[in-house]
A and B are shown apart, each in its own frame.
Chain A
Amino acid sequence: MSQEGGKAGPQRAGGTSSVTAQTMEVQNLSAYYNKFKAVTDVSMKIEPNKVTALIGPSGCGKSTFIRTLNRMHEIARGGRIEGKVLLDGEDIYDDRVDPVQVRRKIGMVFQKPNPFPTMSVYDNVVAGLKLERRHKKSELDEVVEKMLRQAALWDEVKDKLSANGTDLSGGQQQRLCIARTLALEPQVILLDEPASALDPMSSQKIEDAMQELKERYTIVIVTHNMQQASRSSDYTGFFFIEDMGQPGQLWEFGETSKMFSNPERQETEDYVTGRFG
């Protein structure tokens, strides 16, 4: 196994090429809420050091799907799945796998910025490290600066690290949440509509940060913004729902350039050209 729990974390935080982006492979995945099937039979390969965008109309299961990729789906009442999700060849849904470990390796940023309201900017960044175990102050200082730089937030907050995380603007809060996720040095980062609650300027900054991040990480992003998807992603998956009450499915998946210029299926073309959705 190329990655082990003991090696992850801050002892490597100072290094330059410490993170290994990993491939994820989804095999025949269906997601349920109790008896309701929200997503059916999705298979796709998520390439390392690439951005994979998931697009599609509302309610077609994109968010449910992305939450199955780091076992956040099962937190919801009645949330369960069938199928397999492999991280570097290992099924994250294996009985012996601790979901807590999965989530440390596959980080997630949510639609609504959610910094911890009781913590400072500094403590928010290192929350995942500090709450796991004790760390040296110098170690944490280093992680805070490095991660805030990676999230393109350092220059804006370096003088107010002790301010409350929730005192920042919405866009800054979201980048803070990205920095907080990066601090755990995950192999994959999932972003569930990270810019949909933000103004265009902030949204642009997140997009820029993402381009930098893909050098180190595997990135999956759910987005409603077609331009964002076509500009910043390498692969695109189009989720579609045939009829109300039906489960969402992965209608088409391929390289972004092809998906946006010459998709195989009519519905994909209609959606990416803005004819519905």
Chain B
Amino acid sequence: MASNQLTKASGGFQRRKVVDRVMTGIAYAFTAFALVALVWVIAYVMSRGIQVWSLSFFTETTALFGDGGGIYNAMIGTAWIVLLAVLIGVPVGVMAGIYLADFGDNRLGDFIRFTADTMAGIPSIVVGLFIYALLILIMGWNAFAGACALAILMLPVIARTTEGIIRLVPGEIREASLALGLPQWKTMFRVVLPTAAAGIITGVFLAVARAAGETAPLIFTMLGSNFTNTNPLEGAMSAVSLYVYQASSSPYEAVQNAAWGAALVLLIFVLTLNFIARAIALRQKA
């Protein structure tokens, strides 16, 4: 007979097995709960939104009466503000990230990091108000100001993501480049940044996805409009998120339904950006 008697019943072990199963079950249950909520939102928006989708929904301009019209002008508005916000936010954010990663180990760097992290937490409507005071009171309603507000919201995310990814690039890679007699700026732009590119692009896509759905900062800047405006520097302009907000508070049921259609467009846009971001991140890992 074995002297250790390892198989002899030990109360603690049996109890732990039971507790383990219960806890695993609870963890699964909560995960399922979170997933159900997410899937429900997507499914519900889809079922409501798809009903109002038709060709004219994408070719007509918005209306806050009748059947709610289409979202042609709102999509143009969203395209404009996303494009402009990227053009403003990405270069500034990436350069700030480079500064933080490469030269930011000092008081100024700490201050910028603190500011960026605080900025990331500022309610977007406050940013909208800020731009309202800064630009709109002088220029009048315009989409460029809306893009500025979105860029401000994207900035801290892009800067901090870029910083983190650049810090992940092994020091040996940087050393190899410097030892080849490449100056610091070439080392950064031709060796370090390409190595970090996938991560930075992922961060940019996520920031864009976040900004594209923002509504509050647009209310104070581009206002919204039922007409097609292709000049981002002048006049009110609609955006898909703005239209969702405005149409859903309409007293007419048809207009409310149109808001679901626009919400579905927004949802698909954001999900697509997220998928692209994930695909890029995964391809880099492989």
A interface with B by C-beta (< 8 Å): 70, 72, 75, 77, 100-105, 107-108, 110, 112, 114-118, 127-128, 131-132, 177, 180-181, 184
Contact = CB atoms under 8 A, between A and B. Distances in A.
Contacts of B183: 100
A131 B172 contact: no
Contacts of B191: 116, 118, 127, 131
Given A110-B172, A114-B172, A118-B194, A132 B179 contact: no
Nearest to A108: B179
Interface string B19-59: 00000000000000000000000000000000000000000
B172 A112 contact: yes
A228 to B, nearest CB: 22
A110 B181 contact: no
B83 interface: no
A117 B168 CA distance: 13
B173 interface: yes
A107 B179 contact: yes
A120 B182 CA distance: 18
A180 B178 CA distance: 13
A114 B175 contact: yes
Interface in B153-205: 170, 172-173, 175-183, 186, 190-191, 194-195, 197
A170 B170 CA distance: 16
Contacts of A105: 181
A184 B180 contact: yes
* Majority SS at the chain B contact face: helix
Interface of B: 105, 170, 172-173, 175-183, 186, 190-191, 194-195, 197
Contacts of A132: 181-182
Given A114-B172, A116-B173, A116-B195, A72 B180 contact: no
Contact of A114 (B105, B176, B186): B176
A253 B175 CA distance: 29
B190 to A, nearest CB: 5
B172 A128 contact: no
A100 B172 contact: no
A70 B181 CA distance: 10
16 contacts: A75-B175, A75-B178, A107-B179, A112-B172, A114-B170, A116-B173, A116-B191, A116-B195, A118-B191, A118-B194, A128-B180, A128-B182, A131-B180, A131-B191, A177-B176, A180-B176
Contact of A117 (B105, B173, B181): B173
Contacts of B195: 116-118
B175 A104 contact: no
A118 B179 CA distance: 18
Which 3 residue pairs across A and B have the least CB separation, nearest first? A104-B181, A128-B180, A114-B172
B178 A131 contact: no
Contacts of B170: 114
Contacts of B194: 118
Contacts of B178: 72, 75, 103
Contact of B180 (A77, A101, A104, A118): A104
Nearest to B180: A128
Contacts of B190: 131
B173 A103 contact: no
B183 to A, nearest CB: 5
Nearest to B170: A114
A103 B181 contact: yes
A181 B191 CA distance: 16
Nearest to A112: B172
Contacts of B186: 131
Contact of B179 (A101, A110, A116, A117): A110
